[in-house]
A and B are shown apart, each in its own frame.
Chain A
Amino acid sequence: MIHIENLVKRYGDLTALDHLNLDIKQGEIFGLLGPNGSGKTTVIGCLLALLKYDKGTITIFGKEMHPDSYEIKKEIGVVMQNVAVFEQMTVWENIDYFCGLYVKDKTKRKKLTEEAIAFAGLEDYKKMRPKKLSGGLLRRLNIACGIVHKPKLIIMDEPTVAVDPQSRNRILEGIAELNRQGSTIIYTSHYMEEVEQICSRIAIIDHGRVLASGTTEELKKMIKTGETITMEAVALSQKALADIRNLPHVFAISYENQILKLRLTSAKHNLIRILNYMQEHDITFGRVFSELPTLNDVFLEITGKELRN
């Protein structure tokens, strides 16, 4: 459905997109995961023919995308990172206006507007102006304006930034519902939990390059980390740390503020081995957590830095 090949975008000396390649298939919820400034929004800008780019090709529905590709634009819905609604118009008027930019038929437009309001849970706020809405409701209005015409392709650029947990869950459920209704979705975020929760395929990008892509499981299999153990431990000696580091399957260790963090390759009884060592050496320890690898681990191993910032 979308093919991006060797996309290069420079802002002066800064290379925002560095020979970026992506293929997005119909029916996917495709996640673009990366820290702030990694190039996610720039990819979206180029994809929508809003930004000039230095090199590369972009095709959507098999056709090259240009600013006047109105036939392609008919099938695309966009939810911008910044809320883009008219302050002077009510919730209903905003959604109806943006629907009117895609749909000429009045009856159809009214039906679509009502459906979008129901989808975003804005039934009680139809006559309110945006500045009277909370941050979460405003984001939902922003989404409703972007998807009201039921497009085949929906691009969502960090739609949950600064949204309360309740609204966030509602938005994520809504995205999954849109996908079930047949829309292909591109979802950018720096929240790995969201991406992990809803995306069927993910591309991790940083410095304008795709570092890895695949399903969540495929990405996790790419890395060495099979388990992460975190433990509260008081006053560990250097010898104890060296001993733990030499335990089987442990390949990384950190100890800061009395928190011991171990990275281990995938194996059975990793946690029991660590606990046995602590008991045998009379080392006092508190809470213990064992976690399977996350996308953050994937990002950390690939780039050497945390995704969270």
Chain B
Amino acid sequence: MLHLFKYRFLQVIRKKSDMFWALAFPLILATLFYFSFGNAGLAASGDSDWEAVNVAVVTKDTSSENAQAFWTFLKQLDKDTINIKQSSASKAVKALENDTVQGIYYIQKNPSLTVKKNGVNESILTSLLNSYNQNSAMIQDIAATHPEKLPAALKSLSDYKPLIKEESLGGTTLDPNVQYFFALIAFACLSGVYLGVRSSFDAQANLSPLGARRSITPTHKFTLILIDMLVLCCIHFFNILVLNFYIIKILGISLGNHITLLLLVDFMGSMIGVCLGLAFGCLSKLSVGIKMGISVGITLFPAFLAGLMFGNMKNIIELHCPIINRINPAAVLSDAFYCMGVYHDAARFYRCIITLAIMSIFMLCIAFFGVRRERYDSI
């Protein structure tokens, strides 16, 4: 058995085209993802970039307390929430027309705002003014009684950054971009389908002369398939480890701190990919070309449902047809990654692992029964 394992191993790793798709292609995708989505990872804060809104300030009257307080209020926000450009009324209007600024604040007894259109930035400027107006009495009171606390009060009024911080039960911040990398790893695991399908050709007399030669030997079909599966799992597991190493160490994206669990998910992912390929390859009587074509779909479609191309897809499915997420290997894999790296939900994690193990065994049985005692219509 070791003898057969050794030679099958050599045969598979020397097949450069298969190894490219199984190893190099996911690495290329990971690189593309990195440049598309950034490199925040699980350790990131989750803050989004804040672009300060350009606004012109025209001083009409500084004699009133309210005008002074509003001016202080605006200065408090300068360079943070807004970018103030002091100017004359005419220049301010011109800047507004040219879209150099998104609004004009008029400093006067009753502060006012002029905007040209509706939009997010205009809404922010409006909200700032509304917020000031609603609290102007309180601000004037603080200015009068505790002037030293005025900056802090103004700061609290002007904080428009998210009041709700998204945090998982596991205490790790959830970055939506990491979801893509989890889905990518799930996709890479499912790429084992190609290895499995191609390997199945060597077990079927109607698909290759090698299949015919191996079919007429006294070595049991189950032994041949089991050896193929073990060899491919080992090779594909190594491929996935390389991908993980690349994502974590080269691209610098954190996938969590649980290396042992990560290895477990990687191994189960490799196994389900290979077994799925073996089952599909052995079960159907389609030609080699058609099988390889369908393999692309078998790899990409579950990965799509798991959110590789559209991050929210898995959540949409969870809402409308959760059973698909339970039986889609890519979704189960992705879920296992989340449980490991984000939720720290051990029960759900092991449920995913057991699901993958059951699926793999089921696929392996399908592969075996697909070729056992098989006689073909033609070879």
Contacts and interface: CB of A to CB of B under 8 A. Distances in A.
Interface in A113-167: 145-146
B376 A52 contact: yes
Contacts of A83: 209
A97 B213 contact: no
A291 interface: no
B23 to A, nearest CB: 16
A73 B213 contact: no
Nearest to B377: A52
B91 interface: no
A89 B3 contact: no
A52 B378 CA distance: 8
Contacts of A52: 375-377
A97 B216 contact: no
A302 interface: no
Given A52-B376, A86-B11, A89-B7, A101 B217 contact: yes
10 contacts: A50-B205, A67-B215, A68-B221, A70-B218, A80-B213, A88-B10, A88-B14, A98-B213, A101-B218, A145-B213
A50 B215 contact: yes
B75 interface: no
A256 interface: no
Nearest to A85: B210
Given A68-B373, A73-B218, A51 B209 contact: no
B11 A102 contact: no
A263 to B, nearest CB: 39
A82 interface: yes
Interface residues on B, range: 20 to 34
Contacts of B214: 101
B372 interface: yes
A87 to B, nearest CB: 8
A96 interface: yes
A102 B212 contact: no
Interface of B: 3-4, 7, 10-12, 14-15, 205, 208-210, 212-221, 372-379
Contacts of A101: 4, 214, 217-219
Contact of B373 (A67, A86, A93): A67
Interface of A: 11, 45, 48-52, 66-68, 70-71, 73-74, 76, 78, 80, 82-86, 88-89, 93, 96-98, 100-102, 106, 109, 145-146
A11 to B, nearest CB: 6
B8 to A, nearest CB: 8
Given A73-B217, A73-B218, A80-B213, A97 B7 contact: yes
B162 to A, nearest CB: 56
The 10 closest A-B pairs by CB, nearest first: A84-B209, A88-B14, A101-B217, A82-B209, A84-B213, A97-B7, A70-B218, A74-B218, A73-B218, A52-B375
B214 to A, nearest CB: 7
Nearest to A145: B213
Contacts of A50: 205, 212, 215-216, 375-376, 379
A5 B150 CA distance: 107
Contacts of B373: 66-68
A11 B374 CA distance: 17
A80 B213 CA distance: 7
B356 to A, nearest CB: 30
A74 B217 CA distance: 7
Contact of B212 (A80, A86, A100): A80
Contacts of B210: 84-86
Contacts of B374: 67
Given A88-B10, A93-B10, 5 more contacts: A48-B216, A50-B375, A68-B372, A100-B4, A145-B213
B71 to A, nearest CB: 78
Contacts of A146: 213
Contacts of A106: 3
B209 A80 contact: yes
Given A68-B373, A96-B7, A73 B378 contact: no
A73 B219 CA distance: 9
Given A89-B7, A89-B10, A45 B218 contact: no
A101 B205 CA distance: 16
Given A50-B205, A50-B215, A84-B210, A45 B10 contact: no
A51 B4 contact: no
A101 B8 CA distance: 12
A110 B71 CA distance: 93
Contacts of A86: 7, 11, 210
Nearest to B1: A104
B199 to A, nearest CB: 12
A106 B2 CA distance: 11
Most chain A CB neighbours (cut-off 10 Å) among B216, B217, B372, B378? B216
A49 B3 contact: no
B219 A51 contact: no
Contacts of B377: 11, 51-52
Contacts of A100: 3-4, 7
B217 A102 contact: yes
A144 B377 CA distance: 28
Nearest to B12: A88
A212 B11 CA distance: 45
A200 to B, nearest CB: 24
B4 to A, nearest CB: 6
A86 B213 CA distance: 11
A76 B11 CA distance: 25
Contacts of A11: 377-378
Contacts of A48: 215-216
A173 B218 CA distance: 28
B202 to A, nearest CB: 8
Most chain B CB neighbours (cut-off 10 Å) among A50, A76, A80? A50
Contacts of B11: 86, 88-89
B218 A51 contact: no
A145 B218 CA distance: 14
Given A50-B376, A83-B209, A78 B216 contact: yes
A78 B379 contact: no
Contacts of B219: 101-102
Contact of B218 (A49, A71, A88, A89): A71
A82 to B, nearest CB: 4
